[in-house]
Structures are given as structure tokens and as C-alpha cells.
Structure 1
Amino acid sequence: MSPTTTVEKLEIDPLPRPWGAERLHPLIGAVEEHINRSILLLASGDPREALDFAEWLDDKGLPGEEDLADPTDKSAMIDRYKARERDVTGLTTDLDRKNRDIKDSALDALDDSKTARGEITNIAERLRTKLEDAPDPTKGEDGVYRLPVGVEFDLLVSLLNAADQVQAEVEGAANAMDAKARQIDGSVPTVPRGYDYNNGGMPAATNAYRPPAASKASYRITDPNDPVSRALSVASGELGTRETDAAFAGKPYNNGSAWCAAFTSWVWKEAGYDVTWTDFDYVPAVWNDAAALGLQKSTAEAQPGDLIVFDWEGDGTPDHIGIVESVSGGKIHTIEGNSSDQVAKRNYGINSGEVVGVIKPPPTGSDRV
């Protein structure tokens, strides 16, 4: 770490609070601290701890970016933020406290985040210019100086756009860090245990790319009684499991190699979807099988219980897979195995370029073997 790198130096300068847009001042403070926290978490190598701003707005019943696309009453929408001012200022205070808790010695732990940090700084500067360029307010009949509603609403849109763009940069950097971590050898315990109902019980020796063979996949439904809920329950029960845990040696999805696909295959089987994949722990093969079985769908059709497939490298080859837990606020929330070497919850923008698509569960009532 450079000895001159400090929390104070990485944080952005305070954003302008335009005169006449006082209803937005609390939100400007919250977005400012959201930007600061995102930069600091990237610098300290812990971007997964960043706030999902869109999700926070949704939880508080506040309009988000999608809600602003076709507003019927712009002033009333801005007033909703004013009505929840205590929540917004509370978020600002909480983020500021967390930022103060980050030690200077933790910064610049990884170089991988510097590009994203630079782009977030650019997003902040574009937002700063927008706020600085706000026109002077005019005096209303009540003697109060205000910006025109259309101008104030445009500033609201810019604030939420900036928050969303920052979140996208953080997610992209976090995913890149995860992908790099997965390339580091030697972190998986060398346990001679395979996934015993497929692939002959033998663990995969490697996950290096190879063209998927012609699909031989088939499936049967072993229990049609709400398998989606069971899948989410089973997956949630594994949250926090790490490769470094002694108990990992006995996990049925520990295949001695990259185990994200083995994890999703095991979860589906436990839930009642007994799928015999051509290669149960190789993502390109699973994705190829999904097409052959008619289960491959677009990201826009994602629903809880689906498998979600990623292409981190953007080279057309899927290389990671998880389970969709929920879809809300323009985000897909997942549970994934082998994500930073553990079972963890993640979330992605529904239009994320890293998501290839989803695999629908086999229809219940089917018996195809």
C-alpha cells in the first residue's frame, strides 16, 4: 500500500446542494456517502459489502430509477423523498460511520479495483457538474425560492442514475475479483470425494475449457411437491460454507475442483429435480444440456429456483452458475457455490452483460428418463 493513501484522500469532495432543491439535499448526502463507501470498499478489496442502493430504496418504499421513467406527478414523487427524510439522513449517517471505520492501512489491498474506482470518480464528477449547472431558483407566490419542478426532477433522475452506475461498477469489480480468485490453484482441499449419483462418482480433474459433448441429459421429477421452495431452502442451508472448513470435505458437492455446477446440481436433486447432466460439474456442458432439454431461457424470464449462468470473461463461454433466489427492483438475487470459495448470496442487474441466461427447472409431473 502506498503510505500516502488514506480514507480522506480517496473520498470525493462534497457534492453541491443546489439552492431551490432543498427537498433533494438529504438524498444528495446519501448518494455522496454511497459513492465514498463504494470507492473505499473497492480500495480495501471488499466490494461485496457495498450497499445495494436500488434495493435500499425499494425496501423503504421510495421510487427508484425504473419508477421515474414515466412519472405522473413529478413534484409528488420528490415529496416522497422529503417525507422519508429521516430514513435518508439515517442512511447517510450510517454510511459515513462505516466509512470512518475503514482503516487507512486496509486500502490498496488489491490493484484489481483501480479501474472501477477511477470510473466511479468519473461518475461522481459528472454528477457534480449536473448539480453545479442547476439554474437559479425563482420566487414562488408563497415567497419560497424553488427550482422548476422539471429541473428538480431531472436532478433526482441524475442522482439515482449515478447511484445505479456506481453499483454496476462495484458489482463488475467484485465479479472480476471472484473470477481471479477462482483461477488461483491450491485453495481446494484435495479430498477424493465425488458427486456420487453422476459422472461415475469421480471428481473432475480440471475445469479447463473443452467443447461440450453431444447432450445425453435426461431428467425425472422425484417429488413434485413445491420443489422451488425446497431448492431455495436447501441452498440457503449451505450459506457460509467455505472450502477451508473441515466440514467441506464431506459435502456432496465437493468434487475436488471448481464446484459451482456441482452445487447447483446437488441442490436441484435434493429439491426433486433429478437431472442427469452429460457432465454435472462443467458449466458449458450444463448450459448445452439445457438447450437440448428445452430449459434454456433469457435472463428476462428469471424466476426463483432457476439456475443462472454467467460468462465472466465475455468470450462466449459460460463459466459460472448459481441459483436464482429472487428477482426484484431490477436485480436478480442469487445463491452460488464456489463464489469466493464459499456458498454466498450475490446480486446482479437484470441487464448485466455477465449473465448469459437462466435454466428453467424441469416441469413437474414429467418423467423423462
Structure 2
Amino acid sequence: MSPTTVAKLEIKPLPHPDGASGGLNAIIDAVEEHINRSILLLATGEPEDAPDFTTWLEGKELPGESDLQKPVDEADLVDKYTDRQQEVKSLTANLDRENKSINDSQVAAFSLSNNTYRNIAKIVLELRDTLGEDAPAPTKGVDGVYRLSPLAEIGLLLALLDAADRVHDEVQDAANGIETHAGDIAGSVPNAPRGYDNNNGGVPAASNAYRPAPASKASYRITDPPDPIGEALRVAGKEVGTEENDEAFGSKPYNNGSAWCAAFTSWVWKEAGYDVTWTDFDYVPAVWNDAEALDLRRPSPADAQPGDLIVFDWEGDGTPDHIGIVETVSGGMIHTIEGNSSDRVQRLDYSMNAGEVVGVIKPPPTGSGADVRV
């Protein structure tokens, strides 16, 4: 019997019904990545860490199953999802990044005959039929565009949330009952932030394994570059679209052979003319710890400015695990450029109130002066 692989475990893309709104399409993609995340964590022996999509929706104050089952205004509920679709897309992109951090060696011992996995496969099959051949037909609007009716969209949203809940329940039920495969997870550390246990190629990266942030030894030298913020954004923007599988990635200065989001932001600041010596420049918890020691943390994400570093906690465990560059701030949204997001450099957007945003780090002061060390 051949070993199980990540490709065998992940579900095929869910169908998108004709005439679906942007909000519905975003939820379909997010549920797909949530299901994949649950399956992969089940296979790696960490089902207790599987995400709960309903909890995420509640945190975002988006309509849940109870709201959809007794809608007061169907069109208004659909609009709420459409208006917030960028936040859903950001979640999907980061779940995809998390899923890609799991490699075949971590799931090789998992059996496809596992009862929980088979139950999830049945749930996915039902959902695929609901979104595909059984999906309602769109109707032509007065503008000549074919769309699903609000009532039809609500029915499909309910099916998606129900499937996500059932998958989550299956995996949580398995958490205390399955025979885990932790011994087959090379280099894994329980409760470590995703991305610190394996390098880009899926090889255990002991040098970048999760560890508590060390005591800060950071410092910065005050420099006087002409336009550091503009240069930081120019440098970061030129890298957008760079992917790990690009041949040129091997020579990138931020390619550290492991989780490289912090290496990317450290490089961008250096190119902009800031001279910061981090305790560990490519380790997010250390950078966040250093920012406090150097008094570079802004009071809240609402104070974010272009050129700042933005820090995330995608696991929700109190340990920061991802970092990017703030490009712009507008209308309560923070627009970023991030390295190692879905294995590439890309632009993303977040609400200032997003629960996954830990905080922002301002650049050191510029001008004439002396070294500052803490």
C-alpha cells in the first residue's frame, strides 16, 4: 500500500454555483480550506487544533446558522457576506498557507480507511452535490445579469455552515479517540505556531522550530535616509507575486530556508534605510518581543501607518506567528504586503478590529543621533 500524501487527503475544489454572489463564493473557498485544515490536522495527529468556522464567523459578527434559519431580510444577510468578503478571502489565504506547511512525511502513516476521514468524505460529497448539480438556477435581473436569489443563497450558505460544523464535530470527536501519529511527525512541536516546524521544502527545520522568544538584545542605530517609508513600500511592492517555486527565489535575500515572513519584513526595512538589530530577525515572536523592548509598538492596530510592521496570531494561542508590511490604511482597513503568505509575496487586507491582528510596530526614528540599545 502506497503512503498517504497531502494531495490524496485534500478535497477537490468545491463547485461555485452559477450566479453566486462574491460573498457566497468567498464562503465556499473558506469552507473548503477549513475542511482541508481539519483533515490534515486529523492526519498529523493534532485534531484538537482543527479550526471552528462558526466561531470565526461569530468573532467577525457575521450571520451564523441561527440568523440564516430565520432571516428577517434575506437580501440584507447576503449583502453582509458580500461586504465582508475580503476578510473571508484573507482567512482563506492564510489557511492555505497553513495547509501548505504540512508535508507528505507528516501524513504518510495515516490510513484513508480511518472512520473519521470517511465520514468527512461523505459530508463533502453531499456538499458538492448541493453546490453543483442540485444548486438552484440563477434568475435574470432587471439589469440583464443572472444571479441567485437571496433565498437561494441563504440555503447554500446554510449548507456550507452545516457541513463545516459537521466536519469540525467529527474531528473533535476523534481528538480523544483516534490513535495519533505524533511519532511520525518529524520535527513537530505541540502547539507551535504553524510555519515554524518545517521549512519551505517540507524538511524538518530544527533551527527554526518553535521556541519561546529570547530576552531582547535588540538595538537600532538612528539613520537619516531620504524617504524610508516610500522606499520600504517600493521595495516590498516590487516583490509582490514572487513565489517559493520560482527559480529566482533561491537567490532572494529573504530566503532563509524556512518560514520567511519575518526575514522578508526585516530585509524590507533594511533596504529602506532602517538599521535595526533584532535578537532574531527571522522569528516573529522575537521581533514582537524586541519591539516592546525598543518602545516601537504602536498603541493599537488603529494607529497603523504605511511602512509599519503588522503582527498576527493565526493560531489564537497568544503567540505571534506571522508578520507583514502595512502598505496603506483606509476606511477601517489595513492593506498589507506579506512574505510567505500562501508561499508567496502578496497583498492582503484586514479590518483594524480583526482578532488575528496582534499589533503593529513603527519604524525607529530617523535623523542624526547615537545608538540605542536595550
Query: Which blocks of at least 5 consecutive residues in structure 2 are unaligned?
Result: 1-9, 40-49, 104-197
Tell me the CA shift for residue 131 of structure 1. 1.8
Tell me the CA shift for residue 250 of structure 1. 1.1
- Please state whether the residue corresponding to 1:309 is helix, strand or coil: strand
Name the residue aligned to 2:254. 253
Structure 1, 178-187 or 344-353: larger mean CA deviation: 178-187
Distance 2:236 2:294 in 1: 23
CA contact (8 A) 1:189 1:256 kept: no
Name the residue aligned to 1:34. 22
Name the residue aligned to 2:337. 335
Name the residue aligned to 1:271. 272
CA displacement 1:272-328 (0-9 Å, x = unmatched) = 111100111111111111001000122111110000001111111111111000111
- Superposed, 1:80-91 pairs within 5 Å as none
CA displacement 1:121-170 (0-9 Å, x = unmatched) = 846963972226xxxxxxxxxxxxxxxxxxxxxx86x6654434554444
CA contact (8 A) 2:11 2:32 kept: no
CA contact (8 A) 2:262 2:323 kept: yes
CA contact (8 A) 1:43 1:114 kept: no
Tell me the CA shift for residue 219 of structure 1. 1.1
Tell me the CA shift for residue 221 of structure 1. 3.7
- Residue 256 of structure 1 aligns with an amino acid whose one-letter code is G
CA contact (8 A) 1:219 1:367 kept: no
Distance 1:6 1:239 in 2: 29
Distance 1:300 1:326 in 2: 12
- Please state whether the residue corresponding to 1:270 is helix, strand or coil: helix
Name the residue aligned to 1:89. none
Tell me the CA shift for residue 2 of structure 1. 8.4
- Residue 221 of structure 2 aligns with an amino acid whose one-letter code is R
Structure with bigger RCO (C-alpha 8 Å, 6+ apart): 2
In structure 2, the CA distance between the partners of 1:279 and 1:110, relative to structure 1 (3 Å rule), is: closer
In structure 2, the CA distance between the partners of 1:354 and 1:183, relative to structure 1 (3 Å rule), is: farther
Distance 2:11 2:274 in 1: 52
In structure 2, the CA distance between the partners of 1:311 and 1:43, relative to structure 1 (3 Å rule), is: closer
- Superposed, 1:13-162 pairs within 5 Å as 33-42=21-30, 116=53, 122=64, 126=68, 129-131=71-73, 160-162=79-81
- Please state whether the residue corresponding to 1:249 is helix, strand or coil: helix
- Superposed, 1:309-320 pairs within 5 Å as 309-320=311-322
Tell me the CA shift for residue 179 of structure 1. 2.3
Structure 1, 161-170 or 351-360: larger mean CA deviation: 161-170
Higher Cα Rg: structure 1 or 2? 1
Query: Which blocks of at least 5 consecutive residues in structure 1 are unaligned?
Result: 15-31, 48-107, 133-154, 191-203
Name the residue aligned to 1:210. 211
Distance 2:239 2:86 in 1: 26
- Residue 316 of structure 1 aligns with an amino acid whose one-letter code is G
TM-score by length of 2: 0.58
In structure 2, the CA distance between the partners of 1:277 and 1:162, relative to structure 1 (3 Å rule), is: same
- Residue 180 of structure 1 aligns with an amino acid whose one-letter code is N
CA displacement 1:38-59 (0-9 Å, x = unmatched) = 23434665x9xxxxxxxxxxxx
Name the residue aligned to 1:187. 200
- Please state whether the residue corresponding to 2:324 is helix, strand or coil: strand
- Please state whether the residue corresponding to 1:211 is helix, strand or coil: coil
- Please state whether the residue corresponding to 1:358 is helix, strand or coil: strand
Distance 1:254 1:229 in 2: 23
Distance 1:274 1:2 in 2: 46
TM-score by length of 1: 0.59
